[in-house]
A = this chain, B = another copy of it.
């Protein structure tokens, strides 16, 4: 059962990803209630490691606010980010015990979690939850494969443009802007984290961002606040063949 405190948070969370994105689109009332029973919220501070690679994971859940990263590290310290968790993204591997990745909060975060064992039991009893999870996993698989193209074949400049357009798109779908080509967002990652995502060094990231700024593809206010005056120009720089409709 929920304590008063948790209820309050749940109520604040009007567009809680569990409602609109993860598992509940077709839930019946009693299923929703069962979900509520195994649901709880966790807060993390910027820089805090949520799960260490190899750790046992006793929950699944969604990002409510803030950003986390999924990274792999080799013994000699080379690291590669393999996923970026933005609000409404699902975290967890139903049916698996551990995480093969480090999960790290890069900003302050709130996560909406379910205890794993009861969640899995619900999954068995409620087939459409499994279907929804399959959907989401296929989405993640597509994203991972898209990123393989970025890592394997794109130039440094194209990589940066690809990352910026992904973040811009996600940001835009959250804070719906008037449907125009200009958009504004804050970079949620350090240069080093961007480098780890893109398979570059932080110096190259910095240089290419400066170059995009010099060429008018982006405008910078401080180090993190980005304005994209022409989004289709950015997509072009990313080498994307998509038409770039913002609202996917």
Contact = CB atoms under 8 A, between A and B. Distances in A.
A75 interface: yes
Interface stretch (A39-47, A77-85, A103-111, A172-180): A77-85
A93 B134 CA distance: 10
Contact of A144 (B93, B96, B145, B198): B145
A248 interface: no
A134 B130 CA distance: 8
| Copies of this subunit | 2
A127 interface: yes
Interface stretch (A4-12, A17-25, A149-157): A149-157
A34 B123 CA distance: 24
A153 B96 contact: no
Given A138-B93, A141-B137, A149 B100 contact: no
Contacts of A80: 148-149, 152-153
Interface string A63-104: 000000010101110111011000000000111100011000
Interface of A: 70, 72, 74-76, 78-80, 82-83, 93-96, 100-101, 123-124, 127, 130-131, 133-135, 137-138, 140-142, 144-149, 151-153, 198-199, 239, 241
16 contacts: A72-B146, A74-B149, A74-B239, A78-B153, A80-B152, A83-B145, A96-B138, A123-B131, A127-B127, A133-B134, A134-B134, A134-B137, A137-B141, A141-B144, A144-B144, A144-B148
